[in-house]
Structure 1
Amino acid sequence: MDPRLLLDLAVGGSALAGWFAAYGVVRLATRPASPTPAPATMDLGDEPPALVSLLVNRWSLTEDAAESTLLDLAARGFVELRQPGDDPMQTTLHLPPSPPDAAGLRPYERLVLDRVRGLAVHGVLPLSALTFRNEAQAKSWNKRLRAQVVADARAAGLSRRRFGPKVTTVLSAAALLAGVVVGLAAAHYGSWHAEEDNPGLAAGFVTFAVLSVIAGATPGERDTPRGRQVAARWLGVRDWLRGHEQFDELPPASVAIWDRYLGYGAAVGATRLASAVLDLGMGDRSLVWSSYGGTWHRVRVRYPRLPRYGRTLPRLLLSAAISGAVGFFLLKLFGPSADLFPTSDDPATRIVALVAAGIVAGAVLLLAFGGYTLVRGVADLATERTITGEVLWVQVWKSTAQGENRPARPWLHYLAVDDGSGERTTAWGLPSQWAGDCHHGDTVTIRVRPWSRRVVQVAVVGHGRPRSLTEPVVPEATGPRVARAGAPTPESLFTTEEIGQALGLPVGAAEAVDLPGPLVGVQFRAAGDGSPVLMIQAVSGAAGQWIWRLNARGQELPGIGDGAYLAGERAVLRLGDRTVLLTLLGVARARTAHLPWLLAQGALRASANRDQATT
């Protein structure tokens, strides 16, 4: 090879290598921060859940943004979530007859609300119907949501472009310099061939254009000083929520009790069940819940696609042999006639020589690939290892077609397993005959070959709860839930006449409401149009303490029971270890003036009933 060509290639290659090295340094320097969590706290900030989701996920937006926004809209009264039975998958969305004013909603909150309103029929929508049926529509909707959340975060000073104007300008200037160097090297090469057009200008322009496009394509968002402070505080809220037993098992309908805490819990990744039930088309197999290690967390899964993944050793050796044989044959056949820089004046001869040179280059690559596959395949056999973890995902990977009227026969599945080694993992290739032995949530021990990512042995060591939540939940006991003996039930605290007097409108008899967990409740409807106007819920024990802490805010009402508060359309009453929560609905939302009197009547009646029980 001509030394002058080597010099030109070295100069141009060095310029490109220098630019990509600078690009790599910039990416490393602008990585989003990982703030240290602040002390655990239950105090919520002013940021909406979608922004919180962006911050706690290191300035990366996940499906939690839309799901937490929907839960927050329910907590604020724009929609209602109702679970008629014990299965959270049966949850339905209801549009209230008199919703709050939506003028103050942020664009992405309105986007979520508009989707619910657009799909609801007569004001009702099954929660499962929110899922997109068209992939293109889902991507478009999610793209709009992300753009609106990012714009809001930037406006609040919580986020910024990872590559700002200064960084982009520096990289573009470096791209111009690299383009000039590559152009000069190409021009120098062209000066030896006066009979041909000089490629210097074209090479320099193409180099500059390509590198400028790469520099201008921002790789996402990054932190700001204020964003780091806010993210640290919300990470403290996450730790506080995760420290409460069974918070991650709350269904979406429990937002009626937990208020905005459930939405923020979804934003910070603390509500496994609610997040699993909700699906606005953003979820994918690359971010999966895992309980391996004793706590719920999410694991990012990568799914390999290269041909070697999942292959058996004989198939790998056969591939290596074929590659080597084909490469050797082509090299022997075309090697003598190959010439990268032909000197013949005959155009046909020069073309043949260049084609032969290209074939020889391909043959060398085939030989190298065959040798590499042979060595790594044998080494893969010698480095087998055993891991134990939780099954995150099982899905068909490769199949064999069996004809027009017969379904394809799968022979390889993806198997994603969380072994507790980190927040990221790569799926394995599982022979399809074993795919039915393990399910989502199972704990398995597998023997694997690391390079080919093939599972050679699998054993289920523990059965887990499926992630799909499609199986109906079997109730622990038949019949409606009842309060423990001696505890005041919602219908025993207030009479229909007292409720009608407090609300200023006649109401019908109490109707039992099926609520999640240990809650018991009743609902009252207006006697005229039958619309719900008041819900009363009661709960004791640890859950009662939780609900009291969440709702003990607003206007304190001294002298009523063991404590009472009024906040907006809600009022809470503490009676011993039992908490009673009153929520005004529909047309009665603004009729809060006489709620303190109603609470006082309930407290007096509970005290009288308790005195009778002790005599």
Structure 2
Amino acid sequence: MDRRLLLDLAVSAVALAGWFLVYGIARLVTRPASPAPAPATPELGSEPPAVVSLLVNRWSITEDAAESTLLDLAARGFVELRQPGNDPMQTTLHLPPAPPDDGGLRPYERRVLDRVRGLAVHGVVPLTALTFRDQAQAKAWNKRLRRQVVADARTAGLSRRRFGPAVTSLLVAAAVVAGVAVGLAVLHYGVWHQEDDNPGLAAGLVTFAALTAIAGASPGERDTALGREVAARWLGVRAWLRGHEQFDELPPASVAIWDRYLGYGAAVGATRLASAVLDLGMGDRTLVWSSFGGTWHRVRVRYPRVFARYGRTVPRLLLPAVISIAVGVFLLKVFGGSVDLVPSATDQVDRTLIFVADGIVAVALLSLVSGGYKLVRGLADLATERTITGEVLWVEVWRSTAQRDNRPSQPWLHYLAVDDGTGDRTTAWALPSQWAAGCHDGDAVTIRVRPWTRRVVSLSVVGQGRSRQLTEPVGSDDTDDLLPASGLRAGSGPAPSTRPAELFTPEEVGQALDLPVLPAERLDLPGPLAGAQFRSATDGQPVLMVQAVSGAPGRWVWRLHSRGQELPGIGDGAYASGEQVVMRVGDSTVVVRAVGDARGQTGHLPWLLTQGATRLSAGHDEATT
């Protein structure tokens, strides 16, 4: 290997290793403290249980935050917990007829209370019915709750960003050094290798952008002086609670006796049984709560998987059956006369041929019987269609298309579990995926189905469920956005006019892509990038990605993407390349990319870019006046 190449590789490796060494030291220095517990004490502080959970778990949020908040709400009279039998899993939540004033609740306390109120039927909801039936919704709800708790802790001076401005600035400065070193090494390689288009600048910028993104990604929270003091006191409370025999075996309903101690016990990890019963995460799809008929009851759901007939349309069901019958008839016609169950031939070759013919005839009979059975059952399935009205219990992707090089996997069939009130067991139906976005768990629906294939042939929502009102936008929001505007923010995000989610309306995107889309969702992107995506209203898959960045990073992004066909008259410059368009307005760069089913439908993206440029220009004009 050429020594010059070894030198360039060594310089790049040393630069990157040096940056990661600085990054590792920064993580080591800023790791959260482990305060020594104060003496055991029964004295409760003023901090809410969710914040206490953050402190005693070394400034990390666990599921105890939501669970302890629910118990604390019960202790304060906002809800009642009742256990009718010996099994804590039978505990129910009841809304009191005259609850206390909820005006002073913190955002995350209100979030938990709103979920209880939103799911309650006649003021009652089973405790285990608080779980979610959609993974994205569960993650979004818990993510926002965690950020609200962190924001509250920061406001109280009990927590702070693990990487503050000084550490972040140090890492960015180190990234500049590493980027320059890598860029010079690649530049040197391009010079002596006589590259026509020297990639040194691009390599340096990419290195800097990647390292800056890593530095900008939040590694969590860390302690403050006040936070360490408060955490030590609460660790003393935990020691006192653990000193009580059987405290960890108390059920949730015992909050009526133990008052707020049970909620704080859950926050500090001293309540094994109550924490095991409480769950605000994903539910069990095989045992789902239903309120159809006006009372809560559990329904056991079976999800068919094995047979290929499930969810099939009439052509895809009957055509293979007809082909199977035709193949069977043909083989019988050709080889049927050669059947000899007790061959009398003495020649080994003749006996072998007879056995082969017998095998072919057996296969033909099997094909004929199988095809006939499928044909009869398929026709009977068409003749026995029936209509069902019930409550949606669960909606989940069942089958998807195969992933290809230029096309991602797309769902074409969903599970749809419906409780029609006829029993405590049901089998999920096969719902075409284009209808899946139109119904939600808890909705009352009327469906027309085919029993044998389990296929839904029509669906109409006759009543929207309570859980629709609790739907979380599946995007992201920054913890800093939840802090009061009193100088506690770690930094300011993009101006409202430059936020990607606000650049285009769903109607404009739908018109540009020639397909209906849902409202924009914010995305978590590394470093200084802000992002949003639009999903298809038909199957919920992403069809358009929007990214925006300002300042120096925006100039670098513009340099990387300003190629392809120039689009005059849009902002301060615009280009189109393949599935992507990019524009520059002031110090902001916006990149728009068509994905999924929208690929190939990019002819109107320049028009869409014009709409965004108008809003972006207006936002910049307002910011300068």
Which band: TM-score by shorter chain?
Answer: 0.3 to 0.5
